[in-house]
């Protein structure tokens, strides 16, 4: 079968690999649609981050080159011995977290904080940028009736956004700022809308993405090239937002996000970082602000799909391009680097 494998930064190749089989407790999926994630883009542009290159990943046991793709939907085509959660023919999405099941976080049910955290499609195990993939039964969620496979490919990134909002201190009627309106930032805006946030401010340099932020629920937008976002947010909110979400991974923006909050405000860091970011701790201390990080999600895929049934996180508003697997580098990764008006690119592995 064909699969897109990461060999090194700026080196992803579509190659012929052996088609996997479903062993005991495993589910084989024919991939229908797979999304290119910001994490995939980081691996392509400046990896490795989650890709294991020196030693095999402790859970997947794989080492680069690895098949990429962790946002995907598909149809079950084979189930291994003992599988009862799904059957052949079921439409499914995959929750791609790899975890050990033995560390303190896993034992407390917080598997996204596993000491050996990895992702199917980033840390080995196969991936969604392929015709078929095999995963553990617990990673599979059956899609409810009415959700398309395209919609299913957005469940994973929407889960990141919903988890970020759920773990924040946001309450109905609060004010929030979202720094960065790429795919995850836009989904955070939708999750904030679902949470009853009264004012949502989008901070972004791309005019096209600011327009998309408005369409998805931002009540006001700020271009930091044209005006100081911290000053503007304090003016608009009479003292700062309740919660700021940092979704850019740009060091200077982290300090802006912190400074944009009111006293006792909170900044939630959603980004994965390629390098260190310096901040002034006094800006946190003297206002008794909080800064917290979130990684991925846990126990949230069913809730995401219920919100999708109610009209949130809709593919027709977020997907800006659909491509074939053979074109994933030129029309996918390179396009996302060069064209900032792109939001979500979906890949059809055929």
Rounded distance between C-alpha atoms, residue 350 and residue 333, angstroms = 18
Q: Once rounded to an integer, what is the mean pLDDT over residues 231-248?
A: 98
What local confidence, expressed as pLDDT, does residue 86 receive?
98
Q: Once rounded to an integer, what is the mean pLDDT over residues 39-49?
A: 91
Of all helices (H) and strands (E), which one includes residue 347? strand 344-348
What local confidence, expressed as pLDDT, does residue 33 receive?
98
Q: Once rounded to an integer, what is the mean pLDDT over residues 200-214?
A: 95
What local confidence, expressed as pLDDT, does residue 274 receive?
81
The 10s digit of each residue's pLDDT in 100-125 is 999 999 999 999 999 999 999 999 99
What pTM was computed for the model?
A: 0.96
What local confidence, expressed as pLDDT, does residue 198 receive?
98
More confident residue, 274 or 63: 63
> Residue 180: is its pLDDT beyond 90?
yes
Rounded distance between C-alpha atoms, residue 182 and residue 303, angstroms = 22
> Residue 224: is its pLDDT beyond 90?
yes
What local confidence, expressed as pLDDT, does residue 75 receive?
98
What local confidence, expressed as pLDDT, does residue 64 receive?
96
Q: Once rounded to an integer, what is the mean pLDDT over residues 196-206?
A: 97
Q: Is 275 exposed, middle or buried (0-12, 13-18, 19+ CB in 10 A)?
A: exposed
Rounded distance between C-alpha atoms, residue 246 and residue 242, angstroms = 13
What local confidence, expressed as pLDDT, does residue 335 receive?
96
- Parallel, antiparallel, or unpaired: how do β-strands 175-179 and 140-142 relate? unpaired
> Residue 270: is its pLDDT beyond 90?
yes
> Residue 341: is its pLDDT beyond 90?
no
> Residue 350: is its pLDDT beyond 90?
no
Rounded distance between C-alpha atoms, residue 136 and residue 157, angstroms = 20
Q: Which residues contact 276 (CB under 8 A, 6 or more apart)?
A: 251
The 10s digit of each residue's pLDDT in 4-19 is 999 999 999 999 999 9
What local confidence, expressed as pLDDT, does residue 340 receive?
81
247 close to 272: Cβ distance less than 8 angstroms? no
What local confidence, expressed as pLDDT, does residue 199 receive?
98
The 10s digit of each residue's pLDDT in 156-171 is 999 999 999 999 999 9
Residue 194 pLDDT grade (very low, low, confident, very high; cuts 50, 70, 90): very high
Mean pLDDT (the chain) is 96
More confident residue, 272 or 286: 286
What local confidence, expressed as pLDDT, does residue 275 receive?
85
Of all helices (H) and strands (E), which one includes residue 152? helix 149-152
Q: Which residues pair with 79 in a beta bridge?
A: 27
């Amino acid at each position: 079968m064909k699969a897109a494998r990461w060999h090194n930064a700026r080196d992803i190749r579509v190659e012929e690999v052996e088609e996997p089989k479903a062993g005991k407790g495993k589910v084989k999926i024919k991939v229908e649609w797979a999304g290119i994630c910001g994490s995939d883009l980081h691996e392509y542009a400046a990896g490795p981050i989650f890709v294991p290159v020196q030693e095999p990943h402790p859970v997947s046991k794989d080492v680069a080159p690895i098949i990429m793709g962790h946002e995907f939907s598909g149809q079950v085509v084979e189930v291994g011995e003992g599988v009862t959660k799904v059957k052949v023919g079921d439409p499914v999405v995959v929750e791609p977290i790899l975890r050990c099941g033995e560390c303190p976080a896993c034992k407390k049910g917080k598997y996204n904080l596993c000491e050996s955290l990895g992702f199917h499609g980033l840390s080995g195990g196969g991936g969604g940028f392929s015709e078929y993939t095999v995963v553990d039964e617990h990673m599979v969620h059956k899609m409810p009736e009415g959700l398309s496979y395209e919609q299913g490919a957005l469940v994973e990134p929407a889960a990141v956004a919903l988890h970020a909002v759920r773990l924040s201190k946001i309450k109905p009627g609060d004010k929030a700022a979202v720094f960065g309106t790429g795919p995850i930032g836009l989904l955070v805006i939708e999750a904030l809308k679902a949470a009853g946030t009264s004012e949502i401010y989008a901070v972004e340099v791309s005019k096209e993405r600011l327009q998309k932020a408005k369409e998805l629920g931002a009540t006001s937008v700020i271009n930091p090239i044209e005006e100081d976002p911290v000053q503007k947010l304090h003016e608009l909110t009479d003292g700062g937002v309740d919660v700021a979400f940092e979704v850019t991974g740009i060091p200077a923006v982290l300090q802006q996000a912190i400074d944009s909050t009111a006293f006792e405000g909170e900044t939630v860091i959603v980004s994965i970082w390629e390098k260190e970011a310096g901040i002034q701790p006094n800006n946190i201390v003297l206002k008794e602000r909080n800064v917290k990080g979130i990684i991925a999600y846990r126990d949230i895929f069913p809730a995401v799909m219920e919100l999708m049934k109610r009209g949130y996180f809709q593919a027709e508003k977020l997907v800006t391009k659909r491509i074939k697997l053979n074109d994933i580098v030129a029309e996918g990764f390179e396009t996302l680097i060069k064209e900032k008006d792109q939001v979500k690119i979906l890949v059809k592995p055929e």
